[in-house]
Structure 1
Amino acid sequence: LYMSGFGNEFSSEDPRCPGSLPEGQVHTHPQKLRKCDSFINNPQVCPYGLYAEQLSGSAFTCPRPANKRSWLYRILPSVKHKPFTAVPCGNLTENWNEVEPDPNQLRWLPFTIPKSTEKKVDFVAGLHTVCGAGDAKSRNGIGIHVYACNTSMVDKCFNNSDGDFLIVPQQGKILITTEFGKIMVKPNEICVLQQGMRFSVDVFGETRGYILEVYGAHFELPDLGPIGANGLANPRDFLCPVAWYEDRTVATGYTVINKYQGKLFSCQQDFSPFNVVAWHGNYTPYKYNLENFMVINAVAFDHADPSIFTVLTAKSMRPGVAIADFVIFPPRWGVADRTFRPPYYHRNCMSEFMGLIKGHYEAKEEGFQPGGASLHSAMTPHGPDAECFEKNSAAELQPERVAEGTMAFMFESSFSMAVTKWGLQTCQKLDKSYYQCWESLHSHFNPNWKPSKK
């Protein structure tokens, strides 16, 4: 079950405990005491004897539109756990200096999913950092990861103290249990798990996807400007879960994995962290179906910039410049006349990481595959391959469906991103022949050309 609306103030309580949300005040519930009342009927505590805990996603003094917080009413507070200790990070890293910088166009073949018959790998163990920049300590930067796993998390949850996770499933649906409730996310949907929210991931076979992590900012809807009130991703299509709790003790210990300053730490507790009976606030996990995106496009001539496809943005302190944008290229109509329709050749002050959920991307229909990726770094030239250029330069322009059955996306960032050692070497999926897709481009220049008479 879900509630709709982006960034709204919501309230939810598990129907098994009606009245678990305090009325009129956050910590307690006004009640009359009787002589036989016990502790849980004390008006100084929450209904059902619950603990009140606030999860803040912004400074207390942020302006009201930017102030993010939720109140959680839980069976036991999250502070009850043994001390955190460092654990191996695997291929998850914030070390951007492992290898020398590489300004080349980079492309990866589909990332490998481990076989369950060979090794059991859950979501946390299956995290691999491809590239990133900045610093979690200073709360300014991003990380781009892939996950490849085959096993559900059992008596284990993950907590990201560094930033927000935007998760893009590519193969296999995932069931995410959060402190706010459960979220099922399938390929062609996305989910955002904001800083500090604990969650566990169940999978249903071999599973793969992409993650954009941002430090120090939260994702929001882009401003629409001259587009007006409607278009792109509409707020009502974003869904957050309703409250669901489990009151479960774990004799063998429940593991909480905490990502903190780019490293992993774990602690033990003897109860499930998903014991929130009720909650209210505007700081929640949420999901979005990419099929609901309302495309804005050129209908006369020329080629619009890819910013028209922005679903979510994480703004920087500079107006109009994003820490990261999440951009999609969904099925749409191409009708522009006297125009080369595919993406133009480009050098960009932003870094562009692209992934493919399904189908064939229009500018590179062969080498760019679902489950793979590409990175065009700051000021690195890129654009359609030679085959795409030749075919579309001679095409008869008629209205046509573009990207039917396809969903490509881009993580675009103002940071100049470093690629990790895993991304360049260890994963063994780097396509070293990528540059060859432009090798057959040749000159069409004719100094004797004359414009045709109308």
Structure 2
Amino acid sequence: MVQPPSPSERVLPGFGNLHSTEAVAGALPIGRNSPQRVAHGLYAEQFSATAFTAPRNENYRSWLYRMRPTAAHARFQPHQQESLLRSGPFAERAPSPNRLRWNPLPLPGEPVDFVDGLVTYAGNGDVATGVGCGIHLYAANRSMVDRAFFSADGELLIVPQAGSLRLVTEMGVLTVAPLQIALVPRGIRFRVELVDGPVRGYVCENYGSLFRLPDLGPIGSNGLANPRDFEAPVAAFEDVERPCEIVQKFQGRLWTTTLPHSPFDVVAWHGNVAPYRYDLSRFNTINTVSYDHPDPSIFTVLTSPSDTPGTANLDFVIFPPRWMVAEDTFRPPWFHRNVMSEFMALIHGEYDAKAGGFAPGGASLHNCMSGHGPDVASHDKAVAATLAPVRIDGTMAFMFESRYPIAATAWAMDTDLLQDDYDDCWTGFRKAQLPATHGDS
């Protein structure tokens, strides 16, 4: 087992901070990154999440001091096991302009771990050109044992919906529960252990520029997700001489090799790229105190910018508990059509724009310029409501939003989980009654 951080999984706070951590005293070099002889015979290895020449404020790298270099491995071979994991370009089917919604992904009946339980629902862009994302769900009922996984295609944003995960990574250990998120950098190996039974959740694989905190602009210096609330792991390693399968995702396909030892042998590390977790309940929601429902962009936790300022390759947006106080205002999200495409899901509770059919563990997809908004029951309830201050509580919905159209996979279009009657929730709106004197047009 990994030598556990003490006490109780200590963490290093701060988003993008330059952290330093060692599990054995003296393992971390001082004053240089790659000395001639690293303490204890460790190997110095740089891990780069960006190009060497990226500007300093966008340059992410860490130095790892490990028991063996990661270069020591046998050839990777194509993974023979069937998998529903996919990557762009998403050309299995023509992208659909129709609004789509899925029932919750069921938990498996047979033993399935995190890697084998990944199913790709949708995505866009191209891993080879570093644009877009893949959107996956997972359902698993057993821990990964003598097995590790990493994606060479993109960083992995993990959003648990049911059950807690213990992420054993090269750089330390993080436990992540529903209402928390975790991000595993591209290329970092990790193992998923189940803490309290079967698990289900969502994974967004970001092929584009690294997730960062959005600019605050007129909001000022505080608000939304605070940098201090992001937590990276302290160094923790395991010294295990037992075969371990390494599964990597490369250009959309799975490859595998076997090491004669555990890959989690990093004794110390320092730098500004590492796995991290964030508690969504700490999000400082900014909302109107006068009138009109604010744009959903005000709820952005993380953003992956594109080459067009203000137009994201990918945004991670949440809809957390909050007060609604707007005067003379239709308070749920308004009807709209959008240049951005939206993949939306629910962690728990109910979403205030959908009275039914949108369930925790399920998902919906509204592509670019598709008209959407509250269903009939939610609309009628909001129009008739007495506008006193109301606390929206006991809910957490979120959205992966992208400037590029999102294509559903063939599996997602053919599965019985797809709701054939989704469009019906917008059927039955009463026609507006104009004054009799308005004339003919």
TM-score (norm 2): 0.95
Displacement of 1:78: 0.8
Displacement of 1:430: 0.4
Q: Give the alignment partner of residue 411 of structure 1, picking from 396, 400, 418.
A: 400
Structure 1 distance, partners of 2:293, 2:213, is 23
Q: Give the secondary structure class of the aligned counterpart of 1:226.
A: helix
Paired AA for residue 107 in structure 1: R
Displacement of 1:112: 1.2
Structure 1 distance, partners of 2:205, 2:423, is 28
Q: Any residues of structure 2 matched to 1:262-281 within 5 Å, and which?
A: 262-281=252-271
Structure 1 distance, partners of 2:216, 2:433, is 40
Paired AA for residue 249 in structure 1: E
Size of the alignment, in residue pairs? 426
Structure 2 distance, partners of 1:414, 1:123, is 29
Structure 2 distance, partners of 1:288, 1:319, is 26
Structure 2 distance, partners of 1:227, 1:100, is 40
Paired AA for residue 423 in structure 2: Y
**Partner residue, 2:336:** 346
Displacement of 1:159: 1.1
1:107 aligns with 2:101: yes
Q: Any residues of structure 2 matched to 1:69-84 within 5 Å, and which?
A: 69-84=61-76
**Partner residue, 1:437:** 425
Displacement of 1:417: 1.0
Q: Any residues of structure 2 matched to 1:370-385 within 5 Å, and which?
A: 370-385=360-375
1:78-98 residue CA offsets vs partner (Å, 9 max, x unmatched): 111110001145101125222
Q: Give the alignment partner of residue 86 of structure 2, picking from 81, 93, 102.
A: 93
Paired AA for residue 218 in structure 2: P
RMSD between superposed Cα atoms in Å: 1.2
Q: Give the alignment partner of residue 130 of structure 2, picking from 139, 149, 162.
A: 139
Is residue 66–residue 268 contact of structure 2 (8 Å, CA) maintained in 1? yes
Displacement of 1:174: 0.3
**Partner residue, 2:274:** 284
Structure 2, gaps ≥5 residues long: 1-9
Is residue 148–residue 189 contact of structure 2 (8 Å, CA) maintained in 1? yes
1:23 aligns with 2:30: yes
Structure 1 distance, partners of 2:437, 2:250, is 62
Q: Give the secondary structure class of the aligned counterpart of 1:271.
A: coil
Q: Give the secondary structure class of the aligned counterpart of 1:200.
A: strand
1:407-445 residue CA offsets vs partner (Å, 9 max, x unmatched): 0001000111111011111x3200111111111112123
Q: Give the secondary structure class of the aligned counterpart of 2:260.
A: strand
Q: Give the secondary structure class of the aligned counterpart of 2:378.
A: helix
Structure 1 distance, partners of 2:416, 2:173, is 35
Displacement of 1:447: 2.7
1:121-147 residue CA offsets vs partner (Å, 9 max, x unmatched): 111101100001111111112110001
1:14-50 residue CA offsets vs partner (Å, 9 max, x unmatched): 0xx201100111112xxxxxxxxxxxxxxx2101110
Q: Any residues of structure 2 matched to 1:361-372 within 5 Å, and which?
A: 361-372=351-362
1:271-320 residue CA offsets vs partner (Å, 9 max, x unmatched): 11100000000011100000000000011011110000000000111100
Q: Give the alignment partner of residue 289 of structure 2, picking from 273, 279, 299.
A: 299
**Partner residue, 1:184:** 175
Structure 2 distance, partners of 1:107, 1:175, is 30
1:312-336 residue CA offsets vs partner (Å, 9 max, x unmatched): 0001111001111000000000000
Displacement of 1:449: 8.8
Q: Give the alignment partner of residue 307 of structure 2, picking from 317, 325, 329.
A: 317
1:324-371 residue CA offsets vs partner (Å, 9 max, x unmatched): 100000000000001100000011111101110000111112111000
Structure 1 distance, partners of 2:264, 2:336, is 47
Q: Give the secondary structure class of the aligned counterpart of 1:249.
A: coil
Structure 2 distance, partners of 1:236, 1:110, is 33
Displacement of 1:448: 4.6
Q: Give the secondary structure class of the aligned counterpart of 1:391.
A: helix
TM-score (norm 1): 0.92
Structure 2 distance, partners of 1:417, 1:52, is 41
Percent pairwise identity: 51
Structure 2 distance, partners of 1:382, 1:46, is 59
Displacement of 1:101: 2.8
Structure 1 distance, partners of 2:186, 2:437, is 59
Structure 2 distance, partners of 1:120, 1:80, is 31
Q: Give the alignment partner of residue 215 of structure 2, picking from 211, 223, 244.
A: 223
Structure 1 distance, partners of 2:147, 2:301, is 31
Structure 2 distance, partners of 1:449, 1:349, is 37
Paired AA for residue 99 in structure 1: R
Structure 1, gaps ≥5 residues long: 29-43
The farther-off stretch of 440-449 and 267-276 is 440-449
Q: Larger C-alpha radius of gyration, 1 or 2?
A: 1
Is residue 151–residue 186 contact of structure 2 (8 Å, CA) maintained in 1? yes
Displacement of 1:99: 2.3
Displacement of 1:269: 1.0
Q: Give the alignment partner of residue 379 of structure 2, picking from 371, 389, 392.
A: 389
Structure 1 distance, partners of 2:19, 2:76, is 32
Structure 1 distance, partners of 2:16, 2:237, is 23
Paired AA for residue 374 in structure 1: S
Structure 2 distance, partners of 1:86, 1:186, is 33
Structure 1 distance, partners of 2:281, 2:388, is 24
